[in-house]
Chains A and B, each alone.
Chain A
């Protein structure tokens, strides 16, 4: 017998994931405009791989396939993976990355809702460790035609130095490393734009617009993006004020790499993130802090993915320690 409540809000995981996908569209549009349409090919490859992998695993696990595929969560993971990879990686790299996200990070842990780590970030980290060279080849904004991009994706010969440049974050890191000059001189280089990487700042703006729409429609709460952005701005601002020659300004950090994508679409992954209001603030702030630290001192130009995974590890503890107060009680919930 069915029990109360007998009525339900018209809400579904599918609708939720669909809204997140829709919110990615402004960022993707800016991506296409600034960098080129190659990303669309990657998104398609990633989506198809994700759906196929999910269907296969579900069939093997003897779970209903159609209803789970329709929840769009695999597609969302696939899009996030594709958006994190350089847009000209060969197709097989995208496929491997998505397989890692879906099969290893998601289903080996029990499927949707059970994965302790953010699947897209697991895939990204695996790729940057396994294929560091391919993962650092980014096309300069507007520098490559669609034909060239498609050729590269399909596995064409890679005359790397002629066609790709370093990302802004990469250029800064290498420049500082080689003592090529203080930050503001380095930021005159071709990889840099108004605020962040040349062209990438518009993509960041696209993510920001979509992300704010998600907050406005209450698909995500404000806690994570606010804490992520504020922490990144604060810590980078502080060090920039102390030593502007060695540290990049806060706006550069916010507009570069995947900061906006992370703030609204990656740290906000509900399954692997903290759930309590205070826990969300801590989780996102911690990720931002780790990301900045790795960007500034670490061996990898982009530290967000590692930051997210490290914070994923802390989620059970964060959640336990930040249980909100229960109605009428003075103490908070959860074990002490």
Chain B
């Protein structure tokens, strides 16, 4: 099948370092002494604990119920006893803690009863609920709930399976495709049917010929319309928007979802998990994680969610000069603040780094505006402009140059001859802008409250004055009527009543006019030009907050963002 491939601008080609871990078959990691299963598996949603300390659980038993529209269920990865329910530090750069169910395995691996799920009989909504209750989330690194991505009713026409795996070192998707291609495709078919997609495309970087061959063979056996499409090896090919662009030519603007353009994208591991959930009724209990870098036995391990990483990395035999561990790839990953944290559904790779493997960057030099960064930027930004503005704290300008379109892929910093940690500056600027907006929103609310109070007080005063005036008129009218001259001078009484009233009216009109003026001024003036962007752009940054949270494994709070810009990140 001849298919036209598109391309994206920019990108880089770092050395891949994939061979070491890609050569070994997936191994099953032994059960650790205890499992620490976080209830917060997908970003912005924490499951509600439904077990008690001391309770015996079976493998696959639900220990956390899905809550909220973005919630997914959490399960016991093995049989054993719940020994704790308390906060534990997460694999997150912030090093913050979240509530975890601690399970001591009994080693018997006793399953709950589980049976296949009949999608056809149950219907689409029930199938989505099934995936949610099986805890299926994106396994590419974003951990976004899959049932939510299938929920968009906007006619999805193309389903893309992301097997690009463009970050150096990571090979978990590669191995999965080599070994379980049939299951992946079956899962993709399920997802495609649920999404209502006609077309199924699988994008795999052409540095994985074995995976491509295995997927092609499986596609041949399975029949049906599916295109296994090798794509050029260029980071960040695995970025959702980049892959969509290359496979379909569609460019999804910042803040928009693929679904709005008829495209939905899933990671190959997610398709595999969906298959297990539907065809076997198995919830998502483990994932494949690459252990590589400065280790004696690099490779891929299938490990239970909740396995403490220190026990996990020990299987690979880290070198003595290992100075830190990276979670995710070297381009977008982060250094783990500590290692006694559990494996989550988003953890795709752990790299043992040593000074010789990843030397500290050379000292930062001044930007010479050489434009290398702009030529490498897949978002087609001018990174050095963003850098100058961020550095000068000129945040409005940074935003005008589309700071929030930056996907933090790191290509610019990778190529910069001045060794400037450009992405750090963007993170800083984005954080500052969001903090300011938060303050601004709070100030806005306070001001609204204040204005409303003024308005109310003015109104109360008016009403009181009107009441008084009426009363005064009444009392004045009464003696007049008593003296019998009421008929002679009705106008006097009326005037007396009217006089204060008309003065009152004038005052009222003045107040109203002043208020209207103030309102008009407020509407006309751009709100706080120097301090922060206006409301129109606030939505944009909320969407960004959402995206960034979707890209991380854990966030300290729900952030209120409802943007569903999900997708498996470029990792």
Interface residues of A (CB under 8 A from B): 1-9, 11-13, 15-16, 67-68, 71, 73, 111-114, 221, 270-271, 273, 275-276, 319, 323-329, 333-335
Q: Are B254 and A328 in contact (CB under 8 A)?
A: yes
Task: Evaluate contact between B378 and A327: CB separation under 8 angstroms.
Answer: yes
Nearest CB in chain B: distance from A147 CB, A: 40
Q: Once the chains are docked, how many angstroms separate the CA of A13 from the CA of B419?
A: 9
Q: How far is the CB of A82 from chain B (nearest CB, A)?
A: 21
When chains A and B are docked, how far (Å) is the Cα of A261 from the Cα of B366? 26
Q: With A7-B14, A334-B401 as known contacts, state yes or no: A270 contacts B380, CB within 8 Å.
A: no
A131, chain B: closest CB distance, angstroms: 31
Residue interface bits B238-269, CB-to-A below 8 A is 1, else 0: 00010000000001111010000000000000
Find out whether the CB atom of A112 lies under 8 angstroms from the CB atom of B381: no
Stretch from B311-319, B330-338, B435-443, B506-514 at the A interface:
B330-338
**What residues on B are CB-neighbors of A326 within 8 Å?**
254, 379-381, 402, 405
Interface residues of B (CB under 8 A from A): 8-9, 12, 14-15, 168, 241, 251-254, 256, 326, 330-335, 353, 358, 360-363, 365-372, 374-375, 378-382, 384-385, 397, 400-402, 405, 410, 413-419, 421, 423-424, 427
Contacts of B378 in A (CB 8 A): 327
CA distance A114 to B419 in the complex (A): 17
Q: Given A1-B335, A4-B332, A275-B369: A9 and B414 within 8 A (CB)?
A: yes
Residues of A within 8 A of B419 (CB): 8, 12
The residue of chain A having its C-beta at the shortest distance from the C-beta of B421 within the complex is: A3
Q: B9's closest neighbor in chain A, by CB?
A: A327
The reply to whether A335 and B254 contact each other, CB–CB distance below 8 Å, is no
The answer to whether A333 touches B381 (Cβ under 8 A) is yes
A9–B397 CA distance with the chains assembled, in angstroms? 29
| Cα distance A13–B413 in the bound complex, in angstroms | 14
Contact with A323, one of B256, B382, B413 (Cβ below 8 angstroms)? B382
Query: Is there an interface contact between B331 and A111, defined as CB atoms closer than 8 Å?
Result: no
Verify B330–A11 contact, CB threshold 8 A: no
Contact across chains for A327 and B405 when beta carbons are under 8 A apart: yes
State the total of A-B contacts with C-beta under 8 angstroms: 143
Provide a sorted-by-A list of 15 A–B residue pairs whose CB atoms are within 8 angstroms: A3-B423, A5-B414, A8-B413, A11-B415, A12-B362, A111-B366, A112-B368, A326-B380, A326-B402, A326-B405, A327-B251, A327-B405, A329-B402, A335-B397, A335-B401
Would you give the shortest CB distance from A283 to chain B, in whole angstroms? 12
What residues of A have a CB within 8 angstroms of the CB of B381 in the complex?
326-327, 333
Smallest CB separation, A329 vs chain B (Å): 5
Pick the most buried of A68, A326, A335: most chain B CB atoms within 10 A of its CB: A326
Q: Which residues of B contact A15 (CB under 8 A)?
A: 417
A67 touches B415 (CB 8 A): no
Closest to A220 in B: B370
Q: Bound complex: CA of A329 vs CA of B378, how far in Å?
A: 13
> What separation, in Å, do the CA atoms of A325 and B381 have in the docked complex?
8
By beta carbon, the residue of chain A nearest B251 is A328
Chain B neighbourhood of A325, CB < 8 A:
380
CA gap between A12 and B416 in the complex, in Å: 8
Docked Cα-Cα span, A11 to B373, in Å, equals: 12
Contact across chains for A9 and B335 when beta carbons are under 8 A apart: no
Whether the Cβ atoms of A3 and B254 lie closer than 8 Å is no
Given A328-B253, A329-B253, A7:B414 Cβ within 8 A: yes
In the complex, besides A7-B414, A9-B415, A111-B366, 7 extra interface pairs with C-beta distance below 8 angstroms are A4-B333, A16-B417, A270-B368, A270-B370, A276-B374, A325-B380, A328-B241
- Nearest first, the 4 A-B pairs at minimum CB distance are A328-B253, A113-B366, A5-B410, A6-B330
Chain A residues with CB under 8 Å of B418's CB are 13, 113
Residue of A114, A319, A327 with highest tally of chain B CB at under 10 A? A327
B residues in contact with A113, CB < 8 Å: 366-369, 418
Q: A16-B370, A323-B401 are in contact. Are A11 and B417 (CB under 8 A)?
A: yes
User: Which among A7, A13, A271 has the greatest number of chain B C-beta atoms within 10 A?
Assistant: A7
B335 contacts A324, CB within 8 Å?
Answer: no
Q: Which residue of B lies closest to A276 (CB)?
A: B382
**A324 in contact with B380 (CB, 8 Å):** yes
Q: How far is the CA of A3 from the CA of B324 in the complex (A)?
A: 12
Tell me whether A333 and B382 are in contact in the complex, defined as CB-CB below 8 angstroms, given that A4-B331, A7-B331, A270-B370 are known contacts.
yes
Docked-complex contact A7 and B417, CB < 8 angstroms: no
Given A270-B370, A327-B241, A335-B397, also A275-B410 (CB < 8 A): no
Nearest to A71 among chain B residues (CB) is B365
Residues on B with C-beta less than 8 A from A111 are 366
CA distance A323 to B405 in the complex (A): 15
Complex interface: chain B residues within 8 A of A327 (CB):
8-9, 241, 251, 253-254, 378-381, 405
